[in-house]
């Protein structure tokens, strides 16, 4: 019987260094003052660091591979029948008017889409016709050609419990009283800027937002961008380039991966949250330098996320900071899913671990999750932000953040910080933590395998077998529960899952409805694979509903 991989750490850590004009250091080398071996160290963590990645029984992995093998076999059979005109569904073929053109997609490369994805395509891209709050409305659709196209029935599925949106603090709302300032901003500024920050797109509320973000994070300065994805993909190339080394966690988001590739820097991957592997790469980089020439790397940049959206795990930030200080590297922290979602006052994983913002060279985050808006930010020292204002393609070429979006973020930030004179923001942060612990505990009690950190509002529930992925999503929707299911190639082939995102706006009744449905589906689809001992169910009765009306 394989044991679950669970980590326990305790301790504290902090540090500080002076950057150069572009906000980053120039040399890499050994720092004799910082001694750390890259393993779990009791002196680095202030509280227990608990994460679980339980392995499934062997028979589950075997059946999963068999399931993919059967589906693949039937896929080739259908392609053969399609070639001989025996297949009823011809949607996978090129249209007659395209026969003389070079195929847009290669036949073999499109095999997965034709024969696997299309079988369960109805589990994704469901059209929503309401605010994506704790509940939403869905437009009902049906297919007449095996999920290749859809038609709407005109019926709306009302009050579906939303367990898939990143609405962590519940600010995706349409409360008229809360949105008065946003409405006034539209009347004063319009809905778009139609220019870049360096031209005619720099507004006074952009400056107000940047000052507020810097105050919230406890750093010297911040810069906001109109798109979260581009905040990573367009700013990383401005910080590193040829002759630099990027050490990237293997589970990093696509935006980080794209930014690293666009930079032209050398990229090396370390195993997820594996400090021994990271230190080995750092040591080799310092000792051996660049390939062939063995010159010292101009910069070494470590890329990590605060919360990993597919695993629900939290970066081992104290250990990573200790390593980056020991080897004089830089740290780029993506807090897209952690800012607002963890920490006593919602200030992300830096606050969660009790660390200083100056320990991190580049603080990045987005406003698309906890803030119910759009865009992203880069924060840190003033020299770093000033450098990006002139060197970032996002600042030079991309349109500025729309004024109503800016005002929405300002409204939410003031609410979280208590600058609006209420405790609503703080109570939502506390409510999110309570909801997260309650939901995770109940899932463990029922025997599901869940991944991630105890305090992460992203909760993956492992489904494993491909046939169960589509069935799970369809049956849950029948119970008026909207879930996100994820499978290969977005996950390893044997780790298909349903990803639940907890919100402060979820009431205990909503969570109990989902839990009851999961309990039923777990028995029906045989999804309760955990072999851990069940904890006392009395913990599940803990009161978690806090008053949000301050």
Q: Which residues are catalytic?
A: 309, 337, 369
- Element at 220 (helix H, strand E): none
Alpha helices, DSSP H, located in 166-240: 180-189, 204-217, 228-239
Distance CA 546, CA 501 (A): 19
Distance CA 406, CA 373 (A): 8
Contact present, 78 and 479 (Cβ < 8 Å) = no
Q: The tokens 């591979």 sit on which residue? A: 65
| Three-state DSSP state, 228 | helix
Asked whether the CA dihedral 507, 513, 516, 519 is positive or negative, the reply is negative
The contacts of residue 388 (CB under 8 Å, 6+ apart) are: 23, 223, 235, 238, 239, 378, 395
Distance CA 105, CA 112 (A): 12
| Three-state DSSP state, 413 | helix
Contact present, 12 and 43 (Cβ < 8 Å) = yes
* CB burial string 380-399: b at 16+ within 10 A, e below: bbebbbebbbeebebbeebb
Distance CA 119, CA 121 (A): 6
Distance CA 464, CA 138 (A): 27
Distance CA 502, CA 499 (A): 10
DSSP string, 378-437: EEE-HHHHHHHHHH-HHHHHSBPPPHHHHHHHHHHHHHHHTTTSSSHHHHHHHHHHHHHH
* CB burial string 7-26: b at 16+ within 10 A, e below: eebebebebeeebeebbbbe
Distance CA 426, CA 548 (A): 9
Contact present, 317 and 349 (Cβ < 8 Å) = yes
Q: The tokens 């800012």 sit on which residue? A: 339
Asked whether the CA dihedral 139, 143, 149, 153 is positive or negative, the reply is negative
Alpha helices, DSSP H, located in 203-316: 204-217, 228-239, 254-263, 275-288
Distance CA 375, CA 234 (A): 13
């Amino acid at each position: 019987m394989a044991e679950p991989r669970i980590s326990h750490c305790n301790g504290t850590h902090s540090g500080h260094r002076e950057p150069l004009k572009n906000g980053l250091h120039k040399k890499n080398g050994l720092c004799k003052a910082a001694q750390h071996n890259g393993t779990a160290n009791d002196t680095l963590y202030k509280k227990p660091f608990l994460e679980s990645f339980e392995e499934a029984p062997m028979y589950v992995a075997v059946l999963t591979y068999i399931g993919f093998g059967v589906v693949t076999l039937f896929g080739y059979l259908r392609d053969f029948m399609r070639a001989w005109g025996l297949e009823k569904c011809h949607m996978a073929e090129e249209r007659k008017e395209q026969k003389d053109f070079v195929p847009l997609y290669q036949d073999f490369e499109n095999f997965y889409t034709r024969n696997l994805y299309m079988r369960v395509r109805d589990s994704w891209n469901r059209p929503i016709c309401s605010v994506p709050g704790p509940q939403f409305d869905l437009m009902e659709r049906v297919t007449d050609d095996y999920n290749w196209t859809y038609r709407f029935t005109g019926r709306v599925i009302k009050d579906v419990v939303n367990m898939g949106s990143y609405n962590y603090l519940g600010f995706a709302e349409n409360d008229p009283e809360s949105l008065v300032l946003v409405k006034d901003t539209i009347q004063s500024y319009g809905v778009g800027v139609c220019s870049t920050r360096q031209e005619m797109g720099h507004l006074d509320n952009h400056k107000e937002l940047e000052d507020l973000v810097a105050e919230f994070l406890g750093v010297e300065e911040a810069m906001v961008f109109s798109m979260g994805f581009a905040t990573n993909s367009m700013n990383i190339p401005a910080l590193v380039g040829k002759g630099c080394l990027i050490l990237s966690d293997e589970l990093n988001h696509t935006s980080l991966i794209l930014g690293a590739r666009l930079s032209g820097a050398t990229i090396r991957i370390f195993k997820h949250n594996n400090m021994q592997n990271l230190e080995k790469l750092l040591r080799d980089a310092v000792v051996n330098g660049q390939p062939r020439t063995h010159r010292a790397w101009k910069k070494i940049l470590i890329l990590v996320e605060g919360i990993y959206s597919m695993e629900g795990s939290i970066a081992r930030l104290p250990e990573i900071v200790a390593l980056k200080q020991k080897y004089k590297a830089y740290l780029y922290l993506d807090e897209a899913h952690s800012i607002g979602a963890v920490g006593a006052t919602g200030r992300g994983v830096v606050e969660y671990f009790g660390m200083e913002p100056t320990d991190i060279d580049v603080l990045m985050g987005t406003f698309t999750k906890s803030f119910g808006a759009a865009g992203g930010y880069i924060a840190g020292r003033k020299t770093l932000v000033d450098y990006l204002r002139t060197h970032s393609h996002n600042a030079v070429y991309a349109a500025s953040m729309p004024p109503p979006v800016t005002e929405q973020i300002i409204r939410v930030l003031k609410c979280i910080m208590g600058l609006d004179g209420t405790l609503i923001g703080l109570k939502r942060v506390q409510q999110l933590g309570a909801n997260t612990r309650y939901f995770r505990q109940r899932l463990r009690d029922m025997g599901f395998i869940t991944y991630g950190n105890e305090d992460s509002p992203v909760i993956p529930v492992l489904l494993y077998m491909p046939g169960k992925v589509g069935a799970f999503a369809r049956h849950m929707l029948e119970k008026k529960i909207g879930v996100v299911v994820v499978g290969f190639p977005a996950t390893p082939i044997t780790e298909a899952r349903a990803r639940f995102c907890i919100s402060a706006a979820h009431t205990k009744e909503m969570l109990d409805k989902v839990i009851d449905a999961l309990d039923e589906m777990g028995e029906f689809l045989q999804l309760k694979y955990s072999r851990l001992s069940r904890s006392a169910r009395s913990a599940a009765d803990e009161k978690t509903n806090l008053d949000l009306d301050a």
